[in-house]
Amino acid sequence: MTGNCRNGIFTTEDTGLTEENRIHSVLSVSSVVKTSAANSKLETGNSKLMLKAVRGTRDLLPPDTDLWNRVEAKVRDLFARYNFHEIRTPIFEDTQLFSRSVGEDTDIVSKEMFTWEDKARAQSEKAQSLTLRPENTAGVMRAYIEHRLGDKGTLQKLYCMGPQFRRERPQKGRYRQFYQIDAEIIGPPSAGSESPLRDAEVLEMVATLLDEVGLHGWQLQLNSVGCAEDRVRYNQALRDALKPVVHQMCADCQRRAETNPLRVLDCKVPEDQPIIEKLPKISQYLDEPCREHFAAVRTMLDAVGVPYSINERMVRGLDYYTRTTFEFTHGGLGAQSAVLGGGRYDGLSESLDGPKAPGIGFAIGEDRLILALQSQGETAVEKVQAYVAPLGAGMNPHALKLARELRREGVSADIGDESFRLKKSFELAEKGGARFIVIVGENEVAAGQFAVKNLASGEQVQVPRAELAAHLKAAK
Ligand code: HAM
């Protein structure tokens, strides 16, 4: 993927993963004026472009967005109870941030990032390589270091929500723009950031979060990937085990067996799986402090009754992890079953030239959480309470005034138009999902009371203006 910044607009040229992929100019309206051989295929008979959402991206529309908002509101409420506070980091960062934290040999950095060369616009600026964030932990850690949040001497409990970008092969639950709800606890060791209590607290919080948003049947898979020293011994063991067989494996595995053998375990090529199954497991290479840490995490999870199973194969696809790693999965998701993933990253700050600042966190794939909830039949269609229907000449201002009063009292309301016949007002109120229709005619305005009809039961009553909001709010 290559890119540029022209006329103040960021544009990247997506070179396509495979032959059948179209070459696309994305991220910019200037893609419309840019004609490439590939996107000219999009032209219709009358030579106008039919613009559609770019492959792997999608529009989130009502009523689905009602469910998204309900989930986000519940999650914000939960974070407040665990004393987490929001951080918002930029959507693009210096490319090096991701190569130095997530790791050069990971799928994310080696294949999936949207990266472009950003040319300098003035002599005072430097050209630099920029990347749309593929995940949020690196950006949060950069901000922690840049703003010296560790100087406070306390734990920083931070959360963020927003879009992430990975150039993966799109399928159900896997998109090129997707949304994460991310939470991190970072701090100096003197504040308790290394304690296994943090790991257990984070896992207990996730379990409560999933229960509170109404997800049933989630499963927690847990592992420990040890510390940096364990990793050196484990990588050597993998190298030794791979030596006699690696020539039978895919090109990525052959390269990774040399550069970063741990990443061989991320391989998805079906023919390589029998070899990967027989490789040594990381649990055999943990030193005593790492074993004790993991045992303490498990004891605390047992104490609070959070169920889990150990998955010794789960090393997660990002290089920064140390010790505890985890994924929560859900059966309603098909192949992309991980609703969220996370773990501890005790050396991440130092790898970005920051102070010692151990941390642990997770990111929920919000698209997948919503899919999992929908697979259980969850919807969140918020019905508008009142449809205010003006009748006859000059009633629009009265309807607007009444709707204003109701809305200010906390009642949701739509307004019709005086030109509609009563029958049409009823039709539109029902189509729009209103619970009540309120008729605004000359007589009603003069008398100061309105005809209110419950559209489900058909019951109609006269309600004085001053009592209308309370009546609509109280009615079931
Ligand atoms: P991750 O496992 O790469 O971890 O992503 C976390 C979650 O994001 C996944 O479990 C999945 O639900 C969702 N996700 C990932 N890629 C896609 C995609 N292409 N389409 C839809 N959903 C996706 C991280 O990103 C770490 N930063 C998590 C973390 C935070 N670790 C410590 N702190």
Instruction: Compute the distance from residue 175 Cα to the ligand 1 centre, in Å.
Output: 11
pLDDT tier at 22, thresholds 50, 70, 90: very low
pLDDT of residue 43: 46
Given a cut of 60, is residue 29 above it in pLDDT?
no
pLDDT of residue 313: 84
pLDDT of residue 272: 95
Structure tokens at 181: 């709800």
Given a cut of 60, is residue 438 above it in pLDDT?
yes
pLDDT tier at 379, thresholds 50, 70, 90: confident
pLDDT of residue 17: 54
pLDDT of residue 45: 52
Instruction: Compute the distance from residue 144 Cα to the ligand 1 centre, in Å.
Output: 20
Mean local confidence (pLDDT), 60-89:
97
pLDDT of residue 476: 64
Instruction: Compute the distance from residue 355 Cα to the ligand 1 centre, in Å.
Output: 25
- Percent of the chain beyond pLDDT 90? 84
Instruction: Compute the distance from residue 132 Cα to the ligand 1 centre, in Å.
Output: 15
> Which strands make up the sheet holding 386-390, listed edge to edge?
413-415, 386-390, 436-440, 449-454, 460-464
- Percent of the chain beyond pLDDT 70? 91
Q: How far is CA 245 from the centre of its chain?
A: 38
| Cα separation, 289 vs 293, whole angstroms | 6
Given a cut of 80, is residue 20 above it in pLDDT?
no
pLDDT of residue 4: 54
Mutate to test the pocket of ligand 1, among 318, 323, 329, 344 (most ligand atoms within 8 A of CB): 318
Given a cut of 70, is residue 44 above it in pLDDT?
no
pLDDT per position as a tens digit, 49-68: 899 999 999 999 999 999 99
pLDDT of residue 21: 47
pLDDT of residue 346: 97
Does 368 sit in the ligand 1 pocket, CB within 6 Å? Answer: yes
For residue 138, which atom of ligand 1 is closest to its CA?
27
pLDDT tier at 124, thresholds 50, 70, 90: confident
pLDDT per position as a tens digit, 127-169: 999 999 999 999 999 999 999 999 999 999 999 999 999 999 9
Mode of pairing for the β-strands spanning 2-6 and 9-14: antiparallel
Nearest CA to ligand 1 atom 23: 365
Instruction: For residue 30, report the phi and psi dihedrals to the nearest 5 degrees.
Output: -70, -10
Given a cut of 90, is residue 357 above it in pLDDT?
yes
Does 347 sit in the ligand 1 pocket, CB within 6 Å? Answer: no
121 forms beta bridges with none
Q: List CB contacts of 221: < 8 A, sequence separation 6 or more.
A: 308, 309, 310, 311, 314, 326, 327, 328, 329
378: nearest Cα among 213, 218, 208: 213
pLDDT of residue 442: 95
Contact, 65 vs 41, CB < 8 A? no
Mean local confidence (pLDDT), 99-109:
95
Assign 3-state DSSP to the chain and report helix, strand, coil percentages, each to 5.
40, 20, 35
Q: List CB contacts of 224: < 8 A, sequence separation 6 or more.
A: 282, 283, 286, 290, 291, 293, 294, 323, 324, 325
3-state SS class at 39? helix
Does 103 sit in the ligand 1 pocket, CB within 6 Å? Answer: no
Q: Is 3 exposed, middle or buried (0-12, 13-18, 19+ CB in 10 A)?
A: buried
Angstrom CA distances, 258 to 188, 232, 235, 237, 316, stand at 34, 13, 10, 12, 19
